[in-house]
Structure 1
């Protein structure tokens, strides 16, 4: 049986300031798009940046991989999907940027983050339970109450 994963999707129109002189979204700006989708994803489990800090952990990005499939023009509607694919030992989020109608894939990517204890400044070898418990609970809630909980989208992978 495929493993269930939390997912968030945002839509936006690319802005002029995101583009290079050729009218194409500059590749460095994609990370801002990923960040916003990841923020929405983590807010779904009530583990946004303030909650992270309050829990005693930071989650620095330690690895990224981006595959630029097709250039995105400015003033173009896009959809960014973030899917939580790993969380037991690290936080790995996969991203997909598509056209608004989802017929054109522009970018595939992932980021990897690890928990760092704010007090000791040491990297954790396993994700803290204050994080993993939220994931487990969100998946369980979705399994038991799909009709009523529309704020926790789950995808099969």
Structure 2
């Protein structure tokens, strides 16, 4: 979910762009944003991609299963994904621009800004006893059966 929806309840066409960017980064990396885990840090997938991008190591984000894809295409997908998940909706491209960037051989792409929800989880959240790994317990889940009169 885009930051503006989670924080302020605002939804726009740029909200879908954010979700699309998350999906692109998930496809390229072969990892899910939710529950993402890395041994070197406690960043989510967006933070991980942003960290690698800034360090010039973006190709390390790519899943080994896409090794036959040219590096330039992988880098373009990562950059477009990061452009789509920028924090401010007005900084995100329109979907028509996203399609153009993905379809063009050598588009000049803008430099992405910090993603929304670029965060590091507290270590207590990663504790096995927390609700992070087990979001539902029998006492928290209920089923209501409706019956007519």
After TM superposition, the score normalised by the length of structure 2 is 0.24
The structure whose Rg is larger is: 2
Higher fraction of helix:
2
Higher fraction of strand:
1
After TM superposition, the score normalised by the length of structure 1 is 0.23
